[in-house]
A and B are shown apart, each in its own frame.
Chain A
Amino acid sequence: DGGITQSPKYLFRKEGQNVTLSCEQNLNHDAMYWYRQDPGQGLRLIYYSQIVNDFQKGDIAEGYSVSREKKESFPLTVTSAQKNPTAFYLCASSPRGKGQAEAFFGQGTRLTVV
């Protein structure tokens, strides 16, 4: 079945560590996105990529990094510079350049700093 797979579902990070969240899609979508969701709040855009080897910062990119080496994959690294990383992270994809197209979302990764 086509869709978006995020792993792991739960992730625990110690203070000062970098962690990488995986996002893979088989929908043949050019564009991919990372959103952050805090309790009781909406989603905020961290990074997005419209095409392989290119990506742009979203509204809250500080403390995060991404890469887009393959069309299917858009991993997100939460670095030690992110001061409050505990949140629910959602990856999404959509056809490129089509503002009307709905985005497809993965099931999310819940990151907790311990």
Chain B
Amino acid sequence: AQKVTQAQTEISVVEKEDVTLDCVYETRDTTYYLFWYKQPPSGELVFLIRRNSFDEQNEISGRYSWNFQKSTSSFNFTITASQVVDSAVYFCALNLIKAAGNKLTFGGGTRVLVKP
């Protein structure tokens, strides 16, 4: 069975500070996808980024960047120069490549509060 752990339950920062969210996962499969989703107060989950287990290259997309390290089973996510609109709950999720569709395994989420 898969497991995703987000040890940080809540992070509070002042606007323009960087925020790094930790995610550690467990799976016996060697091929999988990792995702980050954002859940604003409106409730729906919004897809942010995806990384497959074959590619450990870290990337930056706008103010978002991620650090995938297969050796430590970690998939950390950073918001650079945070803004008040970044306040939300962020979920890390895992999906096996052999799985049909999106039977995502989610972490418990990290609530981010960005203060002006």
The residues of A with any CB-CB pair to B shorter than 8 Å are 4, 31, 33, 35, 40-45, 48, 50, 58, 88, 90, 92, 94-108
Q: Is the CB of B33 within 8 A of A100?
A: yes
Chain B, Cβ-Cβ closest to A4: B44
- For chain B, the bracket of interface size reads 20 to 34
The residues in B between 86 and 103 inclusive whose CB is less than 8 angstroms from any CB of A are 91, 95-103
Q: Which of A48, A100, A104 contacts B103 (CB 8 A)?
A: A48
Q: Is the CB of B95 within 8 A of A99?
A: yes
B42 part of interface (Cβ distance < 8 Å): yes
Q: How many A-B residue pairs have CB under 8 A?
A: 80
Which of the 9-residue segments B14-22, B61-69, B71-79, B106-114 touches chain A? B106-114
**Binary contact track B1-28/A, C-beta < 8 Å → 1, others 0:** 0001010010000000000000000000
